[in-house]
Chains A and B, each alone.
Chain A
Amino acid sequence: MHNGSSDLTALIQPGRVHRRVYIDPEIFELEMERIFGRAWLFAGHTSQVPKPGDYITIELARQPVIMIRHSDNSIKLLFNRCSHRGARVAPLRSASAPRLVCCYHGWTYDSDGTLLNVPVPEGCAATFDKRQFGLSPLPRMGIYRGFVFTSLGQTGISFEDHIGPMKSSIDDLVDRAPDGELALDAGRHRYVFEGNWKLQVENVLDSYHVPFSHASTVNDKGVQFARREGDKAGAAVVDADKNRTAAPWKQRRSYVSGNGHGWTSNTLLDDGKRSSPAFDEYRRVLAQKIGAERARQILTPRLHNSLIYPNMSIMGLNIHVRVINPVAVDRTEVTIFPVRLVGAPAAMNFGNIRLLNVTHSAASFVQTDDLESFVRVQSGLRSQGGDWVDISRGLGEEEPDRELNATRELATHEMVVRAQYRAWLDYMRGTA
């Protein structure tokens, strides 16, 4: 068994982690119990259930969950499990139903989980108390600017303490909407890969891989294709001689702030020249709503990717929200939601959707090469050719950033991964 703390501690060493954390099914089971079973997880966004009775179904820690809007407009998170004999009561990925009716014997629940009706009630046992048979709510829930998080643990770090350092990453995205709110109602991208969930988590803040993994997205001048509405070109990631990572790319920073969270600084693009009919109109609408100075601040990019450990990330470049869902030790499903900036011109929102299709769909130019790397890592780690995964780049070079209340490092280094494993160990030892 691996559940002894000393055994787990031995897997995480300065600058390296043991390959078992990626390939051992017993460790995966422990992760589901101790990380996904306790940590604050992103569940969904309030805009996914705009009206009372609207629900979505999701999986959290491999358990079926319903997020539904109740008749009093509040958001409820309920286990998708009939209190009678256990059938999933909400069958669709998203639907609208003022009452949830179980398909098996017809038990009927209100949108807050209260059991309303049982067919043939005269058959109920004398001791049967309907009030005890509602759908179980998830233990804890927290909402910040429409982002709904939940913890499957009754106790643990508070929502405020967990989300606090990452609020500015959520703000960075939400503030771009002229009406100050987002809607996750523009469909979704879904992909799956035969690899451990942490490969995706580690990758979202990994700036080291870009010039190599994404070489096929870079032209002969070392510049990536344009990824934002209004840009003529993307970032310079490779020097013109094509052999080295470009200097501006090497200067990017990454930051960590505890709990496994982190973010990378903005990708340098020629923001002064960013212009297109859709973008110019969007900028005009934003400035009209909130003032030119504030609009200028918001449109000055600060962030590339932010990771809210352990299951979601936010991207500031091709704006989206990503949710990482572990299925098995070597299988992970990811959902990418385009975000609609409420109040922005439709053409601007289309610009974002159009480019996200080619950066993050299952058939995109960027994500697919990452997926190939994840699959190759998972199969490589099955070999006995080495027990350790090296994450030592920049070890000892971390420095405090007092202004941001974070620790910073060059983004092509691996501080963020080491920080993720500190949080991993805290959760796994029960000290988080």
Chain B
Amino acid sequence: MDAGEAERFLFYEARLLDERRFREWMGLFAENGTYWVPAVPGQESPFDQASLFYDDRELMQTRIARLEHPRIHIQTPPSRTAHLIGNITLEDSVTLDEYAVASTVIMVEYRNEKQRIFAGRQHHRLRREGEGLKIVQKRVDLINCDAAFEAMAVPI
């Protein structure tokens, strides 16, 4: 994998989120893929500390089904988001068949007359499956991950 392929993948992922194509976004994850947004700076593990998000495939299914539900009050009206992905670097991967990509994410969210900003460093572990890449883990370390948040409904 080269930097160009990593960038194209991350931009495509961001586009799916901004266009609220959540089911397609879920499709980017490997069968055992996880989506993790820690609630502690530098959190070592999702297993012994609370996280903002730690979705395995099963929880992600429930999350996406809810985002598609007509009576999800926290998305009435829906959020609009714009993701900006930059500072992409290829990192050394822990395993041979995985790629590790780090990037900076800024997501601006607008909903109900209010705009807010999420920002942080994200880490993707990607695996080649068939034609394309699948996410083994996406981890987003928000700079304010331990703050008190107003309700969040859409993934970052």
Question: Chain A residues in contact with chain B, CB under 8 A?
Answer: 93, 186-194, 213, 215-217, 219, 225, 333-336, 338, 340, 346, 349-350, 353-354, 356-358, 361-363, 365, 367-369, 371-373
A-B pairs, 3 with minimum CB distance: A362-B149, A216-B69, A187-B50
Decide if the interface of chain A is mainly helix, strand, loop or mixed.
mixed
Q: Is the CB–CB distance between B62 and A225 below 8 Å? A: yes
Q: CA of A350 to CA of B47 in the docked complex: distance in angstroms?
A: 5
Pick the contact of A362: B46, B55, B150 (CB < 8 A): B150
Q: Among the listed B40, B55, B56, which residue makes an inter-chain contact with A187, where contact means beta carbons less than 8 Å apart? A: B40
Q: CA separation between A225 and B69, bound complex, in Å?
A: 14
Q: Which of B53, B56, B71, B150 contacts A361 (CB 8 A)?
A: B53
Q: Which residues of B contact A367 (CB under 8 A)?
A: 151
- Enumerate chain A residues within 8 angstroms of B143, measured Cβ to Cβ: none
Question: Closest chain B residue to A225 by CB distance?
Answer: B62
Give the distance to chain B from A373, nearest Cβ to Cβ, in Å: 7
**How many Å lie between the Cα of A365 and that of B74 in the bound state?**
10
> Smallest Cβ distance from A220 to chain B, in angstroms?
10
Residues of B with C-beta under 8 A to A373 = 73
24 A-B residue pairings within 8 Å (CB atoms): A187-B40, A188-B50, A189-B52, A190-B148, A191-B149, A192-B148, A216-B66, A216-B71, A216-B72, A340-B48, A350-B48, A353-B46, A356-B50, A357-B54, A361-B50, A362-B152, A363-B53, A363-B151, A363-B152, A368-B152, A369-B72, A369-B74, A371-B150, A373-B73
Output the nearest chain A residue to B36 by Cβ-Cβ distance: A357
Q: Is the CB of B39 within 8 A of A365?
A: no
**Minimum CB distance partner of B47 in chain A:** A350
In contact, B148 and A365 (Cβ under 8 angstroms)? no
> Shortest beta-carbon distance, B139 to chain A, in Å?
14
Residues of A within 8 A of B49 (CB): 186-187, 353
Give CA–CA (A187, B48) in the complex, Å: 8
Most chain A CB inside 10 Å of its own CB: which residue of B37, B71, B73: B73
* Complex interface: chain A residues within 8 A of B149 (CB): 190-192, 362-363
Considering only CB atoms, which chain A residue lies closest to B37 in the complex? A363
Flag if B74 contacts A191 (CB, 8 Å). no
Interface membership of chain B positions 71-102, coded 1 if the CB is closer than 8 angstroms to chain A and 0 otherwise: 11110100000000000000000000000000
Does B1 lie at the interface of the complex (its beta carbon under 8 Å from any beta carbon of A)?
A: no
Expressed in whole angstroms, the minimum distance between the Cβ of A69 and any Cβ of chain B is 21
Say yes or no for B121: interface residue by CB 8 A criterion. no
- Complex CA gap A139/B23 in Å reads 55
**In the complex the two chains form, is A188's CB within 8 Å of B39's CB?**
yes
